[in-house]
Structure formats: structure tokens, C-alpha cells
Amino acid sequence: MNDISSKLEKLTINIKVIPESRPEDLKNYPILKIDLTNEKIIEEYKNKKDVIYKHPEFTKWNKEQLRHCLNYKGQSTASFGWIYKAEFTNMNDFLSDKKQIILLKDKYPELVKEIDFNHEINKNLNLKTLTYGSGKEIAWKCLKDSSHPIFIKSCASRFCKSRPLSNCIECHYDSIRILDKKEKENHIKNYAPDISNITLGDETEEFLVDLLKKSAKFLNIEKTGQTSEKCDIKVILKNGKEKSLQVKTLSKISNGYSLRVDFKYEKDMLIAMVSQDRLCFVLEFYGNLKLTGYEFKADSKYKHSHMIINNEHDFCKILSNKIEQSSNYKQIISKTHFKEVKMFKRLKKFCDKNNFSFERNSTNGNTIDLFINNIPMQAKYTSLNMNKDEKRNTYKITMSKSCGKLKGINVNRPYNQDDKFEYIVVEIGGTEKNKKMYHKNFCFIPKEQLIINKIFSGYLDENNEISKGKKSMYICPPDYKSEHWSKQYWNNISFLK
């Protein structure tokens, strides 16, 4: 537009542009066709219809395209421009109507305060010529928090609504953060998992599995709670039907036991409740547990005493009858866990082929997923690479663990050097074209390498500071053409032999 304006200034005719905000007036004004190359008027038309009549090729244009052209914004490949002719006043009237050069200091004086004039990139910055739409990169400082880092952005990008990160990135993260940053940091720092409760639950599940295996009424009993399924034990009946059983450990109280009902299942899910001392047993379907809590005391005057089963034999007998009415077993797990289950099956076949022992961990109480030749490992699976360009196909691996909830929201933190696994075993999916391309290939990454890569938290780094760790890392696929730190670990099983 500036180029057109400069050429128009040299024309002998005085003209005035009709603003776009008044499209209803456009049809009433004559139109000039101006040769910008030779700087002269070619022709004058009565109106838009006259233009279309003399130039039938324009009949294919829609209204907006024609108006866009006729407002001299132009055809990018044409050497002439179109302009509406209005009053024959002076050239200043036209120039005052064209787009003005607006300086940053005039339009947004408050932003000038954010410019870090001491930064090297701003050394030759001139506010007298800096427009608010300039593409020149500038170093800015955050006035809200001096601890936030300097950020480099152009003036134009700072006013782009589709790019919210154009301002201070720390302030942006603060604005979208659900949990307060310091509150979350304190939660992570002070969080200690209740291992005793996890262990107690595991022991109760194992007790029930052993107890039910003594019965001749079942084909098989499988503990499933450690795989993040919706039931703790799968019971396979003689007729082949598979049933679900949930297990709860009763808490000891004065003269009895208690259960807090803070869980939710299908109405016909059978709940087996067992005290830690194995002296109190209760069986009930979830749909019948209407209260938020129950107390079980042997004294008959207490409301729920009739639900108590006093010995293992009667408990097992009653359970054998009730389990037939329990929910049919369904492997209800998240998509992520389902992919991991599939990975474990492929990994087991890999181990069988190489004569390695393979065993899943029986508890969720630590970060160990499995043992191969008795070596504890954490397993990871990811489907596709993060970049659709297959020449840059590294894969993002999540490297964090749960640290409970804060205000009802799950919180994660990086792995710690004290976590008990010695290797991370990774399997990746493939590409958009072949999503199973890399299945049955496994990357065994030793803990020492993860420490070198600063993945773990809790150890002293080279600056003698306690490392914060990382919640993710990137590895290459097994057929990666370039060099990558993870390439050496693909299908490398020498440490297992």
C-alpha cells in the first residue's frame, strides 16, 4: 500500500479514497484505472458495472474480490491499480486517509517500559522509528516478576492473538496453571506414599487368592489389581465363566472393624472385606452398600453384626456361592495401560525366545513393573513419534510417577535416583504409515545413563546442586540413521546373559 501511495502522489489528479467502512457508497462513485508502472491514469469508469462490462474476465470474481481490487489494494501481479474517485480536493486529503505509520511509543507507551535497553539485541533500537507492527526482534523484561527470564519477541508477534506465548512465557504458564506453582512444589517435596496401606492391600489380595485356590469349585484364581484394572481378583468358575471380585481391608477400631465406602463399582460387583488379623470377614455386593461407612462388631446389638462371617471356611463357602452372581470379568483399563499390557505380552515372548525369566511385579507399591532374570525394570511404551516428519522421528517417553493428589488433581514428579528399578525397558509403536513398525524391539536403558542425562531427581549435579530431574526424554527408533545416545541400547541384551 505504501508503494501505491508513493506512486499516486506523483499523479496530476487529486483524488480521495472512499473508506472500506462505507461499502454502500462504492457503487455511486466513478472509478479510475491507474498505471502504476508509468504513473498515469489509463481509463475512467462510471461505476463497477462499467468495469465489469469492459472487462468480462471480472465476472468470475465475487463481490469481495472485486471490492478488494477496486480499493487499489490491488492484484499482486498487476502493474496497475484501481481506485475510487470522489471529491476533487487536494492530495493531502488522500494521504490523510491512507494507513498511518503508528509508533510503538505512541500507541502502547506502557510497553516501552518492558523493553530491556541493556540487552545486546536492543543496542541500536530507535523508538522514533519503531512501529507497533514491526517485525524486529526485541528483548523484553517481565515487569510483573523480575525473576522471570528475558524473552525475545517482535512487536508484531506480541499483538498476535493466535499466539498467546508472545508475552512472558512464565506469566502465560501462571495464567493457565490450575494449581499454584509454590503449593504444588511443596506438595511434591513433602509427599510420601503410604506404602503401609499399599502393602496391606497387597497382602489381603494375596491372602484371598491363596484361600480361594484351596477350593475345588474354581478353575483358576488370578490377582489383577496390580495391572490397574477395575477389579482385584479374576475368578474362573468350573463352567469357564470369568467373574470379578473386589478386595477391601477392614480397619481396626474399638471392639470391631470399619470400612469407609469411598469407592464406586458396578452394582453387582462382589466386595470381599477382610480384617488384617483375618478374624473378621464380610461379603456384600456394591449395590447394597448404601452408607458412606460401616462398623462391624460381633455384639448382636450393633446394626451390621449380621454381615460378619467369623471363619475362613464359612467365608470361602459363602463366597463360592455368591461369586456366581458377581460382575462378569471385563478387562477395563485405560488405553495407555491396555497398550502396556500388550507390550508385556510381546516382551514375555522376547524373553522366552532368549531363555530369560520374566515376572510381573505383584504390587503397585513401587516403581518396578517387572523382573527379567531377576533384574528390576520400569517399562515404557509410546505409540507414535512427536513429529510427523519421519526424518525427525525421535519419540517422547514420559518419565514421571504419581505423587498423589492436590485439591483433587493428580500430581506427577520425575523419577528419583532412589527408585528401585535398574533399567528402563522401552518399546515404541511406529509411524503414521505403519503404527506397528517397531513392535518386538526393546530398548534397555541403564539407570546410569538416565543419571548422565539428568532424568533423575535427588542427586548432586556437576554444580553441586540437587537435580530437579525431567518428566520426559526422547529416544530414537532402532533404525535411526544419525547418531543418538539411545541407539546403542536397542535390543542390547548383553547385560542379561
Asked if residues 172 and 164 have their Cβ atoms less than 8 Å apart, the reply is yes
* Secondary structure tally for the chain: helices H, strands E: 13, 22
Residue 59 lies in a domain: yes
Residue 186 lies in a domain: no
Residue 411 lies in a domain: yes
Residue 184 lies in a domain: no
**How many of the other CB atoms lie within 10 Å of CB of 328?**
10
- What's the maximum distance between 2 C-alpha atoms anywhere in the chain? 111
pTM for this entry:
0.61
Kindly calculate the radius of gyration of the chain based on its CA atoms and give it in whole angstroms.
36
Residue 330 lies in a domain: no
Q: Measure the CA–CA gap between 481 and 439, rounded to whole angstroms.
A: 18
> Is there a single domain that holds both residue 63 and residue 209?
no
Residues near 336 by Cβ (< 8 Å), separated by ≥ 6? none
> CA 159, 164, 166: angle at the middle one, nearest 5?
60
What string of DSSP letters covers 126-160? -TTT-BTT---EEEE--SS-TTSPPEEEEHHHHT-
* C-alpha of 1 from chain center: 43
> Is there a single domain that holds both residue 321 and residue 265?
yes
**How many of the other CB atoms lie within 10 Å of CB of 255?**
10
Residue 190 lies in a domain: no
Asked if residues 245 and 286 have their Cβ atoms less than 8 Å apart, the reply is no
Task: Count the domains in the chain.
Answer: 4
Parent domain of 358: 335-496
* Pairing of the two strands 151-154 and 218-223: unpaired
pLDDT per position in the chain (497 positions), as tens? 445 444 444 444 444 444 443 444 444 556 666 554 555 666 777 766 676 667 665 555 444 554 554 444 333 333 345 554 543 333 344 344 444 567 888 888 888 999 999 999 999 899 988 888 788 899 999 988 888 899 998 888 887 655 555 688 888 888 888 888 888 888 888 887 766 677 788 889 999 999 888 888 889 998 886 665 678 899 999 999 999 999 999 999 988 999 999 888 899 999 999 999 999 999 999 999 999 999 998 777 788 888 999 898 899 899 988 999 999 998 777 787 788 889 999 999 999 999 999 999 877 777 899 999 999 999 999 987 655 555 557 899 999 988 888 888 888 889 988 888 999 999 999 888 888 999 999 999 999 999 889 998 877 777 777 788 899 999 999 999 889 999 999 999 999 98
Name residue, grid cell 502522489: 9
> Is there a single domain that holds both residue 276 and residue 402?
no
Q: Measure the CA–CA gap between 344 and 4, rounded to whole angstroms.
A: 68
CA distances from 361 to 16, 297, 333 (A): 81, 36, 17
